[in-house]
Amino acid sequence: MLSGPLEGVIVLDFTRVLAGPFCAMILADLGAEVIKIERPKTGDDSRAFTPIVKGESAYFMSINRGKKSVTLDLKNPKGREIALRMGEKADILIENFKPGVMEKLGLSYEEFAARNPRIIYASCSGFGQYGPLSEKPAYDLIVQGLGGIMSITGPDKNTPTKVGSSIADIFAGVFTAIGILAALHHRESSGKGQYVDVAMLDCMVAILENAIARYVATGVTPEPIGNRHPSIAPFATFKTQDGHINIACGNNELWRRLCVALNRPHLYEDARFKTNADRVANWADLEPLLQEAFIECPTEKWLKEFDDAGIPAGKISNIADVVKDPHVLARDMIVNVVHPVAGNFTLPGIPIKLSMTPGKIKSPAPVLGQHNEEVLTEYLGMTPDDVNALEEEGVI
């Protein structure tokens, strides 16, 4: 059986921290051979991020699984030449330095394409390769703020809130993977590689969906409204006797069922709440009436009632709940790997389920420089003595 749909595809991963490594991890999970190029001695910045497990970063291990680590001093002429020679064998190159850095190193798309016209060279940066902000440094928090997502997240307009996960980085990684796969498909017919430019800020704008639509349609700037939906009601979080519950009623039939399940059938007949538009417009009246009902019973009782009635509902799981959730486990979304230094380590699984060529987590994240000899002898024909000499010179 194939190890994944990208088996045989070779990726040079020059990325660090999150967006780029997440992209490369997706490709590794789908079967690609991902060779992670890191600085000698220190490696990817995220190797120093806490928490540390037996000397290895849990952060790093969570997003660099399935890769091989090769250390390379890209400022050294010998290191640069090794990188370019590896590019001759590669299908894909991914980098997420500030625009201009790879060019200064002599490792631009043009340099690699001159030796390998089939290479797909992807740059994942904060603000893209052109535009007024292109050279500005970027981190997830900065981009979430500039991208508008914080202006619509949180309890109210006085409390702009970042999303708990680093979604500016994550979405940039996902969109970069999509761009790479599109370029890979195009290469099948054209024989030519191309350059892929993905910006974190662009990705944040792309996922604003109904916020931009509402602004364009109404001219009113959207503001944070907590957990309720701006266009659907009831679609919100409510307190129960012992916790909280999420409810999503996207049509009038679900609204009717909810009124019955809550033992509040009169709300369905109330003229203020007859249509979805009415319920959205009169949410200030409706919310306390619903909250009065929800507080009467514990979460689990409501969940059973709503499941029986076919009403979309769910509890709010914490991370400890998620990692032992029966459905999550049934979908192989919590996976254990054995790291050579850290030992047993738990990771999120692969969310893309393919029937004929399923992906798999091939290996844990690599130790820094773990695959120097393996990769350099296999791909560049070096001898172990050659590799030792490069290490002594500080090239690797």
Last residue of a domain, one of 277, 299, 318: 318
Domain that holds residue 291: 235-318
Last residue of a domain, one of 288, 318, 348: 318
Does 379 lie in the same domain as 253? no
Does 147 lie in the same domain as 257? no
Does 71 lie in the same domain as 18? yes
- Average pLDDT (147-154) is 95
Using H for helix, E for strand and C for coil, what is the string for the chain?
CCCCCCCCCEEEECCCCCHHHHHHHHHHHCCCEEEEEECCCCCCHHHHCCCEECCEEHHHHHHCCCEEEEECCCCCHHHHHHHHHHHHHCCEEEECCCCCHHHHCCCCHHHHHHHCCCCEEEEEECCCCCCCCCCCCCCHHHHHHHCCHHHHCCCCCCCCCCCCCCHHHHHHHHHHHHHHHHHHHHHHHHCCCCEEEEEHHHHHHHCCCHHHHHHHHHCCCCCCCCCCCCCCCCEEEEECCCCEEEEECCCHHHHHHHHHHCCCCHHHHCHHHCCHHHHHHCHHHHHHHHHHHHCCCCHHHHHHHHHHHCCCEEECCCHHHHCCCHHHHHCCCEEEEEECCCEEEEEECCCCCCCCCCCCCCCCCCCCCCCHHHHHHHHHCCCHHHHHHHHHHCCC
- Average pLDDT (79-92) is 97
Does 337 lie in the same domain as 288? no
Does 255 lie in the same domain as 336? no
pLDDT of residue 171: 97
Does 245 lie in the same domain as 144? no
Is residue 277 over pLDDT 60? yes
pLDDT of residue 210: 87
Does 359 lie in the same domain as 299? no
230 assigned to some structural domain:
no
* Domain count of the fold of the chain: 2
126 assigned to some structural domain:
yes
217 assigned to some structural domain:
no
pLDDT of residue 73: 97
Question: Which CATH number characterizes residue 281's domain?
Answer: 3.30.1540.10
pLDDT of residue 209: 87
Query: pLDDT exceeding 90 applies to what percent of the chain?
Result: 97
287 assigned to some structural domain:
yes
Does 364 lie in the same domain as 254? no
pTM, 2 dp: 0.93
Does 80 lie in the same domain as 164? yes
Last residue of a domain, one of 257, 284, 318: 318
Q: Sorting pLDDT into bands at 50, 70 and 90, what band is 95?
A: very high
223 assigned to some structural domain:
no
Query: pLDDT exceeding 70 applies to what percent of the chain?
Result: 99
Question: Which CATH number characterizes residue 29's domain?
Answer: 3.40.50.10540
304 assigned to some structural domain:
yes
- Average pLDDT (128-134) is 95
Does 134 lie in the same domain as 74? yes
268 assigned to some structural domain:
yes
Does 335 lie in the same domain as 192? yes
215 assigned to some structural domain:
no
Span 178-225, pLDDT tens digits: 999 999 999 999 999 999 999 999 999 999 988 999 999 999 999 999
Residues belonging to the active site: 229
pLDDT of residue 2: 61
Does 189 lie in the same domain as 55? yes
Is residue 1 over pLDDT 60? no
- Average pLDDT (41-56) is 95
Is residue 19 over pLDDT 70? yes
Q: Sorting pLDDT into bands at 50, 70 and 90, what band is 3?
A: confident
